[in-house]
Chain A
Amino acid sequence: MKPIEPMEPMKSSTLERIRNNYVVQAWLVLILAICFGGSLAGMQLALGPLIEANKINETLKKVPEMVLGAKKAEKLTKDQQLIIEPQTVEIEKNNRKVFYSVFKAKHPNGDPAGWVAKAVGQGYADKIEILFGMDNKLKKITGLFVLDQKETPGLGNKIMEEGWRQQFVKKKTATPLKVTKEGAKAAHEIDSITGATISSRAVCSIINTTIKDLRAPLSK
């Protein structure tokens, strides 16, 4: 064992102080951070518009299908494509401002084809984001599509299935939709998904609220 040496008096030479400075110790971290930050910024500049376009495209692509139905939308030739006008509707509700993304679809000759609204609401697990179409006079629902959901796989996520969504087509908007477990009979009833009543109800209530909110501003 070495004998314990008495402590040397601390040398406070400038060089030593600089070497122990936190910033100098971390020079590699700082330089790397600047390099990485720069490259990330460059990448965001290159890919950012593409990602934004992806998000908008996903919605826009669905609009004709929501208004006309999948079969008719597929048959549209190039010069028959609908003209889509995105707009934002602002509504005062419980002293809070609520915004809706709405798409107005028109035939190329200027005839109105219908409306498509994007709506978000609380589901069973997380927020459900849907897109649904209404006819020109807001009397009937013409289509429903689920843009984003995190419901239970195998149960709640069946709201995305074509068969279930088809129930909403041609439903009248005058009476609010109601979910039933005993087989839908009345015109405003929707069959719930077995084991996913909350998810089914959530979709219906999102549609009901959105129709209620949008009826006035869109009929203007």
Chain B
Amino acid sequence: MADAPTPYERFIQGILPENPVYRQLLGLCPTLAVTNGLNAAMTMAGATAFVLFCANIITSLIRDLLKPHLRIVIFTLTIATFVTIADRFLAAYMYQMSKTLGPYIPLIIVNCLIICRCEVCASKQSVVHAGMDAIGQSIGFALALASIAAVREILGTGMLFGMRVLPEIWPDWVVMVLPPGAFLTLGLLLGAVNWYGCKNKNNNEL
């Protein structure tokens, strides 16, 4: 593997060039479901980062023992363990937040972002690569969640992190905090990111 990405490349790729939400379109379930407020979105990003980091490290440590036909079972087992830890931890120390997020914390188990990173990076490269990859992808995921949640919370409630930022006159666009708002925001932001990417590419070619 002469041209396999270095740890630094893995790290930087995750943030924008291979952003999990805007570029790979992975992990869209939490992206759509918990982005009606920044607080919830950031807690979700934190929990996902913890699970992704731990799962990547463990997978990378045992990568030489993996059998091809049993690897997915092992990924899922590892991920499920860390998700349960994150879920119990939230219930014990951030009880209100754990109630707000409800079933979406246990649902991190089926977040395809994590299984994808285990498969693509951690099961093939060293612990350092896997760790850097997890950190990069987590930052990318957090940025994506934050951007969507900020748009939805400002337009939907006139608040950021639960604090008023728009004047009281602002008629709250309730639809933005409802499920349709998630699809609208994700679609528009995705379009904007793609448009920006295309423009840059064209400029470079000229």
Residue in A54, A55, A153 whose CB lies within 8 Å of B178: A153
Chain A CB within 8 A of B172 CB: yes
Beta-carbon contact of B77 and A29 below 8 Å: yes
- Contact A32:B102 (CB < 8 A) given known A40-B85, A50-B92, A154-B156: no
Beta-carbon contact of A47 and B66 below 8 Å: no
- Give the most central of B93, B95, B177: most A CB within 10 Å: B95
Beta-carbon contact of A155 and B92 below 8 Å: no
Chain A residues positioned under 8 Å from B70 (CB to CB): 25-26, 28-29
Beta-carbon contact of A154 and B177 below 8 Å: yes
With A and B bound together, what is the CA distance between A44 and B88 in angstroms? 8
Category for how many chain A residues contact B: 20 to 34
Interface residues of A in 40-64 (CB under 8 A from B): 40, 43-44, 47, 50-51, 54-55, 58
Beta-carbon contact of B73 and A148 below 8 Å: no
CB distance from B53 to the nearest CB of A (A): 16
Chain A CB within 8 A of B165 CB: no
With A and B bound together, what is the CA distance between A33 and B78 in angstroms? 9
**Interface majority SS (helix, strand, loop, mixed), chain B:** helix
| Residue on B nearest A154 in the bound complex, by CB | B174
Chain B CB within 8 A of A39 CB: yes
Chain A CB within 8 A of B206 CB: no
Chain A CB within 8 A of B62 CB: yes
Beta-carbon contact of B81 and A51 below 8 Å: no
Chain B CB within 8 A of A99 CB: no
Chain A CB within 8 A of B199 CB: no
With A and B bound together, what is the CA distance between A150 and B103 in angstroms? 12
Residue in B36, B73, B78, B177 whose CB lies within 8 Å of A36: B78
- Contact A54:B77 (CB < 8 A) given known A25-B67, A29-B70: no
CB distance from A64 to the nearest CB of B (A): 19
Chain A residues positioned under 8 Å from B95 (CB to CB): 51, 54-55, 58
With A and B bound together, what is the CA distance between A44 and B81 in angstroms? 12
Beta-carbon contact of B88 and A51 below 8 Å: yes
- Give the most central of A40, A55, A153: most B CB within 10 Å: A153
- Contact A54:B91 (CB < 8 A) given known A28-B65, A36-B77, A153-B177: yes
With A and B bound together, what is the CA distance between A150 and B100 in angstroms? 9
Residue in B67, B85, B92, B102 whose CB lies within 8 Å of A54: B92
With A and B bound together, what is the CA distance between A26 and B81 in angstroms? 18
Residue in A25, A29, A55 whose CB lies within 8 Å of B74: A29
Beta-carbon contact of B77 and A154 below 8 Å: no
Chain B residues positioned under 8 Å from A26 (CB to CB): 70, 73
Chain A residues positioned under 8 Å from B195 (CB to CB): none
With A and B bound together, what is the CA distance between A32 and B73 in angstroms? 11
Chain A residues positioned under 8 Å from B172 (CB to CB): 154
Chain B residues positioned under 8 Å from A54 (CB to CB): 91-92, 95
Chain A CB within 8 A of B84 CB: yes
Query: Could you give, for residues 60-94 of chain B, a 1 whenever the CB lies within 8 Å of some chain A CB and a 0 otherwise?
Result: 00100111001001100110110011001101110
Beta-carbon contact of A39 and B88 below 8 Å: no
Residue in A28, A44, A58 whose CB lies within 8 Å of B62: A28
Chain A CB within 8 A of B99 CB: yes
CB distance from B118 to the nearest CB of A (A): 13
- Give the most central of B66, B73, B78: most A CB within 10 Å: B73
With A and B bound together, what is the CA distance between A39 and B80 in angstroms? 12
Beta-carbon contact of B73 and A40 below 8 Å: no
| Residue on B nearest A195 in the bound complex, by CB | B174
| Residue on A nearest B156 in the bound complex, by CB | A154
- Contact A33:B91 (CB < 8 A) given known A154-B178, A155-B174: no
List of 7 A-B pairs having minimum Cβ-Cβ separation, nearest first: A154-B174, A36-B81, A54-B95, A50-B92, A47-B92, A51-B91, A153-B177
